[in-house]
Every structure is written in structure tokens, then in C-alpha cells.
């Protein structure tokens, strides 16, 4: 799964029409509408009633453009830093068609083009002057006079004995009727970017606000809570993740201070305190990609396990799992999540530095597992997801094991993550990993692009089998002829460039 730069969601609450009265029932082009039509004339290449031929179809204006014209909050909310919902009240004039209530359903099917299309606003409302009638709200950007109806629409109106006479209706819009993007666009300085991406972690929306948005941070937080059902807390990242445990320093902008949360990822449940551990919903695809590679019976060593998003699915797949994290909070929640997902019998959990884990429990288990190589059919995988540093930890594999080497197909497969800002990120990661091991990984590794982290910064995963000469003491193997790589390089690079294009277009 990828969480993308996603505009704030539109409130799913339904609009309540607060005041409604027909103010005129003659054919119209009232003054307010004249100014609107003038704007429209400027805004697009649109013909106006009376100027176009009856048979022509009125070109449509982009939805966003249309909404920003009429359905935007009042201009005096600009600069508001403390949210005052009452200041968002506004009355707009909407064209309506008065019809008998019995024919509404029949008619609506034929008036799809002409009807008002605005989420949250009812298209059919009661006529306050006559309970036998209904008012069909029409699109104020298309429908001006009877002349705005198309031939087919006029024909159905005639069949149903409805006069194609358009009236005006005063509709009161309130805070509830505006999308969060519209609210923030109206409040923040004109022309400034308001579409903030956010990651959702359970009930928490996690923002990364830019400088010009900071004076409005509490208002932005409140609007996000109002407009996104299920979000009850909004936090802003206040540093880059550069601390050891990779958790964010964050400020609660609005809503609950409680950072204890529960998330679902790939059908597993994780609970943790988001202020104390690492969790990134943008890694769910990567977690499932690795899980897919594993086969029942395989052994997984998860060196930087966090709260368990590789370890738990692997254990559910009947792999034997050894999961480790240095952060005592991650360790605590990892244990908890293993129980929560009923895999605590299949996961051995450690709270060690990655290097100690590799040189201690991993070495011990590998010695045992690979020593049984004649009977073994299963693979051993080592996942190292600490992209800023994991490559350095590869040195722990050098001469880790002693004695008679296992057969080559049983050598452990490493999946090591790294960031790269290089113009050729795959090559950069291959070279850096190879340099730590003292070998060339050119012909015997694959590199997978995980995600684009920032402009010119990629997260990648390099996968390779640890060569015998590296893993075992006193081995002299010609590393240049380390044959039969797990994935051939050529395929990898093609796949990489495809993935890169795909991910870039998704980001
Ligand atoms: C990027 S997170 C990955 C967590 C998890 N694997 C995931 O995919 O969500 C890296 C994890 O490594 C842990 N960590 C950082 N330094 C470590 C070290 N030296 N040894 C072991 N774990 C470490 C952090 O606490 C964090 O949970």
C-alpha cells in the first residue's frame, strides 16, 4: 500500500439546507448571475445563453474551477488562525426547476447533465411554498434560462408537462459544506500551497507542514479532524527522523494527546505508541513483498524489526522467526503484537543492537540450521530495514560462521535496505554494500526500488546470498565466479527502471 500526497478528504456529512426560499420565479438572469456569467466568459471559452445556437452543447468547465468560483468560503476568513466555523456562512443563489413530486424520479434520470453536482448538497428539496412540489437544484454554471436546456431535456419536460422555467433559490452554505481544501485555500495566504499530504496511523493524522503553513497549524489540525471521519488527533513532524529509534519528534496540533494507536496492515493488527516507535504506512507494500517471497518452513531473521510488520506475517506463514529491535518500546510492542496476532509461539523476540543480534542469536541459529544442511530444504532470509545505516551492519557477516560450509543454495539471503541520493541509486547501493563486504555484488544481487522518499532520494532494497567466502572463516573462493545469482542483474535493472517509473507516477 502507498499512502500518497492526498488532498484532505471531503466531509462525508450531509449538507443540511438551512434557509430556503424562492425569491423570484420569473425567467432570470439576475445581476448576481450576470457577474457570474461574466467571470465564466473570462474563465473559459464558454458560450452564454442567447449567444449560442440552440443545438450546440455548452462546454463544461473543470469541476475544481467551477467549485472555486461559487462554492468557496467567504473572503473575510482569509488570515484566520483560530477556527471560527460560524464565519463560513454564505448564501448562494442556485437555479431550480419546480416540478410535481410524483415525476421527480423519472425526470432526474433525464436531467443528469443539468442537475447540480456537489457532494453533500441534495439535488431535490421540498418546495417551501407547496408541499406537492419539489425543487430540482440545477447547475448554476450551466443553467441560466429555459434556453439552457438541451433539446432532449426539453422534450422530456414537455412530455411530463413541466414548464422549463428556472427560478432562483437561496441556499445557505455553512462550514460543513466546504471541503477542507476549500477551507484552507480561503484561510491561508492567497496563492500558497494548501494541499498537505498526511499519513494516517490509526486515529492519528501525521503531517509535515511547510513554513508558510505553521501560523495556521492549529486551525489546519482542527479542520482535518472535522473533515476526516476517524481522525481524532493531528500531529506535525518537527524533526527529520535522525534519532536511533527512528521515531518522530511530533507536536500535537489538535485533538487527543493520546498516541496509543491501533492499525491494520495487510490483514494484521498492530498496537503501539506512535510517539515512541517507528511506523510508516507507506511500507505496507514492501512488507507484503517480502512476505510473498517467504515459504512456509523458511527461517526469517528480522534485524530491525520495529513492532513486527515483517515478523508477524512471516510467522503467520509458518516461518520460524527471530525478530530484534534495539528500542525497548519497539521490543515491548513487538512482543505484544505477536500475542495479539497469535504468533507468539513462532517468534523469538530480542532487544539487542543489530550487530550483537547478528553475532549472537543469528550466528548460533545459522550454525545449527546450516549444519543440518543435508536435511534442510528451506531458505534462510535476513531482513535489515534500517535504511540510513543497515549497509554498515553487513560487516557482521564477515567470517561469522566456522567449519564446513553449507551447500550454496542454503546460504542465507539478505534483504538490506538503504537510501540513495545518487543519480544511479541501484548501482550506488550495490557498490556501497559490496564495499562493506569487500566483494563485488554486481553479478549476484538484485535491487528493488521501494519508494521515493523525497525529491532525489530513493529507498531501495538490495537482495543477495551471502557468499561462502564471506560467511565462513578461512574460505578462499573466487568471488568473481560466484555463479547463479538469485536474480540476474540484467533483469533486475530493467525491472528497476520500470518500477522507478511506476513509483514516480504514484508518488
Ligand atoms: C526503519 S525502522 C523499521 C521497522 C520495521 N522493520 C518496519 O518495517 O516498520 C528501523 C528500526 O530499527 C531499530 N533500530 C535502530 N537502530 C538499531 C540498532 N542499532 N539495532 C537494532 N535495532 C535498531 C529502530 O528502533 C526501528 O524500530
The one-digit pLDDT tens for each residue of the chain (507 residues) are 233 222 222 232 222 223 333 332 222 222 233 333 333 333 332 222 322 322 222 233 334 445 456 889 999 999 999 999 999 999 999 999 999 999 999 999 999 999 999 988 999 999 999 999 999 999 999 999 999 999 999 999 999 999 999 999 999 999 999 999 999 999 999 988 886 678 999 999 999 898 899 999 999 999 999 999 999 999 998 876 557 777 768 899 999 999 999 999 999 999 999 999 999 999 999 999 999 999 999 999 999 999 999 999 999 999 999 999 999 999 999 999 999 999 999 999 999 999 999 999 999 999 998 876 566 679 999 999 999 999 999 999 999 999 889 988 999 999 999 999 999 999 999 999 999 999 999 999 999 999 999 999 999 999 999 999 999 998 765 444 444 444 334 334 444 444 443 433 333
Q: How many CB atoms lie within 10 A of CB 110?
A: 17
pLDDT at res. 32: 30
Rounded distance from Cα 294 to ligand 1 centre (Å): 21
pLDDT at res. 370: 85
Rounded distance from Cα 170 to ligand 1 centre (Å): 58
Q: In this structure, are residues 293 and 272 in contact, taking their beta carbons and an 8 Å threshold?
A: no
Mutate to test the pocket of ligand 1, among 266, 277, 304 (most ligand atoms within 8 A of CB): 304
Name residues contacting ligand 1 (CB within 6 A). 244-246, 278, 280, 283, 304-306, 309-310, 324-327, 330, 353-354, 385-386
pLDDT at res. 305: 98
Classify 113 as helix, strand or coil.
coil
* Vertex 480 angle, CA 476 and 485, to 5°: 105
**Concatenated DSSP letters of 356-411:** HHIIIIIHHHHHHHHHTTTT----EEEEE--TTTHHHHGGGGTT-B-SSPPPGGGS
Query: Which residues are annotated binding-site positions for S-adenosyl-L-methionine?
Result: 287, 325-326, 353-354, 385
**Concatenated DSSP letters of 239-268:** S-S-STT-PPPEEEEEE----EEEEEETTE
pLDDT at res. 492: 41
Q: In this structure, are residues 203 and 273 in contact, taking their beta carbons and an 8 Å threshold?
A: no
Rounded distance from Cα 277 to ligand 1 centre (Å): 9
How far is residue 60's CA from residue 58's CA, in Å, rounded to a whole number? 6
Rounded distance from Cα 279 to ligand 1 centre (Å): 10
Q: In this structure, are residues 384 and 358 in contact, taking their beta carbons and an 8 Å threshold?
A: no
Which protein residue's CA is at the shortest distance from atom 6 of ligand 1?
Answer: 305
Nearest Cα residue to 10 out of 195, 216, 281: 195
Cα dihedral 390, 392, 393, 395 in deg (nearest 10): 150
pLDDT at res. 198: 87
pLDDT at res. 490: 35
**Concatenated DSSP letters of 358-370:** IIIIIHHHHHHHH
Q: How many CB atoms lie within 10 A of CB 99?
A: 23
pTM of this prediction?
A: 0.77
Rounded distance from Cα 493 to ligand 1 centre (Å): 28
Q: Exposed e or buried b for every residue in 347-356, given b needs 16+ CB within 10 A?
A: bbbbebbbee
pLDDT at res. 10: 25
* Vertex 245 angle, CA 241 and 248, to 5°: 40
Amino acid at each position: 500500500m502507498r499512502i500518497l500526497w492526498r488532498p484532505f478528504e471531503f466531509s462525508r456529512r450531509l449538507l443540511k439546507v438551512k434557509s430556503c426560499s424562492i425569491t423570484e420565479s420569473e425567467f432570470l438572469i439576475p445581476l448576481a448571475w450576470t457577474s457570474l456569467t461574466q467571470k465564466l466568459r473570462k474563465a473559459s471559452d464558454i458560450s452564454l445563453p442567447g449567444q449560442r445556437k440552440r443545438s450546440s452543447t455548452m462546454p463544461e468547465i473543470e469541476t475544481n474551477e467551477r467549485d472555486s468560483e461559487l462554492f468557496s468560503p467567504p473572503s473575510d476568513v482569509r488570515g484566520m488562525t483560530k477556527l471560527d466555523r460560524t464565519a463560513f456562512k454564505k448564501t448562494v443563489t442556485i437555479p431550480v426547476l419546480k416540478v410535481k413530486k410524483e415525476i421527480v424520479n423519472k425526470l432526474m434520470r433525464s436531467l443528469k447533465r443539468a442537475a447540480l453536482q456537489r457532494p453533500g448538497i441534495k439535488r431535490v428539496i421540498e418546495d417551501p411554498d407547496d408541499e406537492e412540489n419539489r425543487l430540482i437544484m440545477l447547475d448554476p454554471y450551466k443553467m441560466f434560462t429555459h434556453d439552457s436546456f438541451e433539446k432532449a431535456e426539453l422534450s422530456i419536460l414537455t412530455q411530463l408537462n413541466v414548464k422549463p422555467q428556472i427560478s432562483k433559490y437561496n441556499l445557505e452554505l455553512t462550514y460543513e459544506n466546504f471541503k477542507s481544501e476549500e477551507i484552507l485555500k480561503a484561510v491561508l495566504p492567497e496563492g500558497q500551497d494548501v494541499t498537505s499530504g498526511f499519513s494516517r496511523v490509526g486515529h492519528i493524522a501525521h503531517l509535515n507542514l511547510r513554513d508558510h503553513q505553521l501560523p495556521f497549524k492549529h486551525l489546519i489540525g482542527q479542520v482535518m479532524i472535522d473533515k476526516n471521519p476517524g481522525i481524532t488527533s493531528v500531529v506535525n513532524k518537527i524533526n527529520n527522523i535522525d534519532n536511533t529509534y527512528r521515531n518522530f519528534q511530533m507536536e500535537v496540533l489538535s485533538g487527543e494527546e493520546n498516541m496509543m494507536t491501533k492499525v491494520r496492515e495487510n490483514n494484521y493488527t498492530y498496537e503501539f505508541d506512535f510517539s515512541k516507535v517507528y511506523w510508516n504506512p507507506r511500507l505496507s507494500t514492501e512488507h507484503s513483498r517480502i512476505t510473498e517471497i517467504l515459504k512456509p518452513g523458511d527461517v526469517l531473521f528480522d534485524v530491525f524489526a520495529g513492532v513486527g510488520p515483517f515478523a508477524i506475517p512471516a510467522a503467520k506463514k509458518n516461518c520460524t522467526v527471530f525478530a530484534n529491535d534495539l528500542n525497548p518500546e519497539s521490543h515491548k510492542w513487538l512482543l505484544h503484537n505477536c500475542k495479539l496476532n497469535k504468533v507468539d509461539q513462532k517468534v523469538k523476540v530480542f532487544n539487542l543492537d543489530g550487530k550483537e543480534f547478528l553475532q549472537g542469536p543469528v550466528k548460533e541459529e545459522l550454525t545449527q540450521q546450516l549444519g543440518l544442511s543435508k536435511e534442510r530444504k528451506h531458505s534462510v532470509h535476513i531482513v535489515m530495514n534500517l535504511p540510513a545505516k543497515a549497509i554498515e551492519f553487513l560487516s557482521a557477516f564477515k567470517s561469522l560462521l566456522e567449519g564446513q560450509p553449507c551447500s550454496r543454495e542454503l546460504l542465507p539471503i539478505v534483504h538490506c535496505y538503504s537510501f540513495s541520493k545518487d543519480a544511479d541509486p541501484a548501482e550506488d547501493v550495490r557498490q556501497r554494500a559490496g564495499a562493506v563486504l569487500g566483494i563485488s555484488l554486481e553479478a549476484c544481487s538484485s535491487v528493488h526500488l521501494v519508494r521515493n522518499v523525497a525529491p532525489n532520494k530513493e529507498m531501495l532494497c538490495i537482495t543477495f546470498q551471502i557468499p561462502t567466502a564471506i560467511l565462513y572463516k578461512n574460505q578462499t573462493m573466487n568471488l568473481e565466479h560466484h555463479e547463479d545469482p538469485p536474480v540476474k542483474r540484467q533483469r533486475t535493472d530493467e525491472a528497476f527502471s520500470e518500477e522507478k517509473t511506476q513509483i514516480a507516477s504514484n508518488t
